[in-house]
Amino acid sequence: MVAAVISAVLGRLLARRSSDPYGRYYARKGARYAVAAVTVVALAIVWQAFAGRLGVVLGLATAGVAFAMQEVIGAVAGWFNIVSGRIFRVGDRIQMGGVRGDVIDITPLRTKVMEIGSSTDGGTWVRGRQYTGRIVALSNKTTFTEPFFNYSSIFDFIWEELTIPVSHDGNWHEAETILQEEAARASSSEGADQAMDAMVDRYPVGRAEVEPRVFVRSTDNYMELSARFVVPVRTARSVKDDMTRRVTDRLAAAGIEVASTTREVTIR
């Protein structure tokens, strides 16, 4: 009863010092928690049943605190992992805990990410790698428990692919030429080549091909042409959009139809 009164009075006094409603809310909660902790310590001191068993009590209390704060301890350990291992830093584009976005803040407990959408993830309404407007806070412990991806730490480029199906009877050779020319126009091969040199100097990995190429695959329905090219990670969607428009216009001008597994039937 006394503790409840003290908690209420202390909460009111602290709340008066803040003009912010959020500040007053957290002041009252902080006062309540502080009074509860002091009350528990006072009871432990005056309770004679604990006499001569201080070591046991402290051991049990430590075990309880460690169990209750295992998420916090894991988050702090994850923060050390991020800082010491240089996994990512503010400004990097990452995927962590199923969330994609740009890192805007790193604290000992959480990493804040400005979320981007995805064409493959139905969890966001933005169907591309552009900002959704949401800021997501992720526990640093996630770096230990789930796969982590960094899109821009060392190699600030990604490989994109544009796939166009052309019928077996169509002029897929000319379509291949069009795709190759447009891939070369859209590709950032020169910058990617320099970034690849830096990666090879830092890590014992082989060089990856950064020059644009068109791969052809024959299926039961059509010839599948896939243009593979490298672009800066933050402009991938706009670059692919421009390239798709140009390829579509050039194919139409050349009289090459894009194939499909569906069939259009007109009934007169």
Rounded Cα distance, 210 and 228, in Å: 9
pLDDT band at 104 (very low <50, low <70, confident <90, very high): very high
- 39: confidence class by pLDDT, cuts 50, 70, 90: confident
Regarding whether 174 and 141 lie in a shared domain, the answer is: no
Q: What is the pLDDT of residues 122-153, one digit of tens each?
A: 777 888 888 899 999 999 999 998 888 998 88
pLDDT confidence of residue 153: 80
| Within-domain flag for 80 | no
Q: Quick check: 148 and 94 in contact, CB under 8 A?
A: yes
- In this structure, the answer to whether residues 168 and 224 fall within a common structural domain is yes
Residue 57 has pLDDT above 70, yes or no: no
CA distances in angstroms from 6 to 9, 27, 36, listed in the order given: 5, 14, 10
Same domain, 180 and 230: yes
Confidence of residue 49 (pLDDT cuts 50, 70, 90): low
- How many distinct structural domains can be found in the chain? 3
Residues 37 and 99 occupy one common structural domain: no
Domain shared by 165 and 249, yes or no: yes
Mapped onto helix, strand or coil, the DSSP state of residue 166 is: strand
pLDDT of res. 125: 81
Same domain, 175 and 218: yes
**11 pLDDT above the threshold of 70:** no
Tokens of 77: 């350990």
Can you give the CATH number for the domain in which 136 is found? 2.30.30.60
User: How far apart are the C-alpha atoms of 203 and 189, rounded to whole Å?
Assistant: 20
Query: What is the Cα–Cα distance from 104 to 137, expressed in whole angstroms?
Result: 10
- 165 and 141 belong to one structural domain: no
Q: Is the pLDDT of residue 2 over 60?
A: no
Query: How large is the C-alpha radius of gyration of the chain?
Result: 30
